């Protein structure tokens, strides 16, 4: 069942069912509700995760398990994310959500997923959806960039996607080591090498804002209309219910109308610094 609106500020109790070590500072938590089922969600939405005794932060949903759990990929960057990333199996957390607008389904279109670094996590459920329903789409391309081969997220799953014959997977790194034999450079540069119909393509983009800025420029040069480009905008979510104003982006409250936004809706704001 959907979470009732009057419960939007009340965390539900969840338990850590499993911890997957992705990188030295990054884990994926499988969170299972203590009672009831997992509420429905749309790929691209987020939950508010509460680490008892520390605080609460917004974390994008990075997938679901085969049972009733949510998957959340967490990197240690602050007090709350560090507390969450260091939880053990069986630990209790509070969860509010899901919140926000998710990725479009884009059936019948070519779909280009463009991710930078940890931005692959919010895109992963949409990628899994597209690959599970592959016949509903035209060409599917996954373009992923990271700083260094050692910082590559979901390495095993990326390799599984790469082995499929019905999807184009391109990975690039900013800085290569002696063992890396793939692309070197920024992820927007991969767009010019990717085959798709720009008039019938939908691009889903998530990563650092500077990366998304250059990605939008590359997609425009390729002929993709602004209204068919979707960005996941990260801001400081506090209440997730449109009350506190911390996630305000111009006239938008991203916890309500985002985090996923069509670029033509925010183009003028995106070009303005420090919004």
DSSP letter at 166 equals: S
Which residues in the chain are classed under CATH 3.40.50.80?
A: 110-270
Strands 201-206 and 110-116, by their bridges, are parallel
Quick one: pLDDT band at residue 68, thresholds 50, 70, 90? confident
Q: Could you tell me if residue 36 is left (phi over 0), alpha (psi between -120 and 50 degrees) or otherwise beta?
A: left
Say which CATH topology domain 110-270 has: Rossmann fold (3.40.50)
pLDDT digit string, tens, across residues 163-187: 999 999 999 999 999 899 999 999 9
* Alpha carbons 233 and 218: distance in angstroms, whole number: 18
Query: Positive or negative, the Cα torsion across 180, 182, 187, 189?
Result: positive
Residue ranges, comma separated, of all CATH 2.40.30.10 domains in the chain are 5-99
- Going by pLDDT thresholds of 50, 70 and 90, the confidence category of residue 15 is very high
Tens digits of residue pLDDT in 184-234 = 999 999 999 999 999 999 999 999 999 999 999 999 999 999 999 999 998
- CATH, domain range 5-99: 2.40.30.10
User: What's the whole-number mean pLDDT along residues 42-67?
Assistant: 94
User: How does pLDDT run across 83-139, given as a tens digit for each residue?
Assistant: 999 999 999 999 999 999 999 999 999 999 999 999 999 999 999 999 999 999 999
pLDDT > 60? residue 252: yes
- DSSP tag of 244: S
Using pLDDT thresholds of 50, 70 and 90, give the confidence band for residue 259. Answer: very high
Separation CA 72–CA 118 (nearest Å): 11
E-only strand ranges, the chain:
12-23, 26-33, 46-51, 55-60, 63-64, 70-75, 92-99, 110-116, 140-146, 168-173, 183-184, 201-206, 229-232, 248-249, 252-253, 260-262
């Amino acid at each position: 069942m959907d979470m009732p609106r009057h419960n939007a500020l009340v965390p539900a109790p969840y338990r850590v069912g499993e911890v997957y070590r992705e990188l030295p500072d990054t884990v994926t938590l499988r969170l299972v509700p203590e009672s009831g089922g997992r509420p429905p969600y749309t790929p691209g939405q987020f939950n508010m995760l509460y680490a008892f005794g520390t605080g609460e932060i917004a974390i994008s949903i990075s997938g679901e398990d085969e049972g009733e759990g949510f998957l959340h990929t967490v990197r240690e960057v602050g007090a709350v994310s560090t507390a969450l990333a260091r939880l053990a199996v069986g630990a209790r957390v509070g969860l509010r959500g899901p919140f926000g607008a998710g990725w479009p389904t884009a059936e019948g279109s070519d779909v280009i997923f463009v991710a930078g670094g940890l931005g692959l996590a919010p895109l992963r459920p949409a990628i899994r959806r597209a690959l599970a329903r592959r016949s509903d789409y035209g060409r599917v391309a996954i373009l992923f960039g990271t700083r260094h081969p050692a910082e590559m997220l979901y390495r095993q799953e990326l390799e599984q996607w790469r082995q499929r014959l019905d999807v184009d997977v391109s990975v690039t790194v900013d800085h290569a080591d002696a063992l890396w034999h793939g692309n070197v450079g920024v992820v927007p540069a991969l767009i010019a090498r990717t085959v798709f119909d720009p008039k019938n393509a939908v691009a889903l983009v998530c990563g650092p804002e500077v990366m998304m800025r250059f990605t939008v420029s590359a997609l425009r040069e390729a002929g993709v209309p602004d209204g068919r480009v979707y960005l996941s905008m990260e801001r400081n979510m506090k209440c997730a219910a449109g009350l506190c104003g911390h996630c305000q982006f111009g006239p938008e409250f991203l916890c309500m109308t985002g985090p996923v936004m069509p670029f033509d809706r925010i183009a003028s704001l995106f070009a303005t610094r420090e919004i």
